[in-house]
Amino acid sequence: MQLTPLIAVHMTAALGAVALGPVALWARKGRTQRPVLHRAFGYAWVTLMLVTAFSAVFIRDFDLPNLAGYTPIHLLVPFTLFSLFGAFRFLRHKNIAGHRKTMQSLYLGACVVAGGFTLLPNRYLGTLIWHQWLGWL
């Protein structure tokens, strides 16, 4: 797989979400809460996650086990969209604990776990890092 503009958009949005997510989560932790920072970084993170999810729909990989080019990692697209919808639904109903849990789970599942899978040696980013940049494999 090559670095196409679509993959560049997807990867940039995903890396941005990985970077901004902890700030949004941290801004509501502890004694000193920063609601303005939480809201600003939260909306930016949600936007990046939407770009990541929607761009992933158009990225298909026929080399890995797939169904019409969609690999198992594509199951994170509906998970992401439903989680974002649910998180804002929790907010609308003033269920802050549900919102917090949903957003933390989404960050862990869609950013950390999916990010870990992209670093596998047979994936594009994994090949780039492990084979070309570091030359380990």
Q: What is the pLDDT of residue 39?
A: 95
Q: Identify which has the larger pLDDT, 20 or 137.
A: 20
Q: What angle do CA 39, 45, 51 make, to 5 degrees?
A: 140
- Dig out the tokens for 19 from the structure: 């970077």
How far lies 25's CA from each of 7, 28, 69, in Å? 27, 6, 34
What are the φ/ψ torsions at residue 16 (nearest 5 degrees)? -65, -40
What six digits make up the tokens of 46?
């949600």
Q: Give the pTM.
A: 0.88
pLDDT category of residue 104 using cuts at 50, 70 and 90: very high
Higher pLDDT, 61 or 115: 115
Structure confidence at residue 22 (pLDDT):
96
Please compute the mean of the pLDDT values over residues 130-137 and round it to a whole number.
Answer: 77
Q: What is the pLDDT of residues 70-79, one digit of tens each?
A: 888 888 899 9
- 90 confidence band (pLDDT: 50, 70, 90): very high
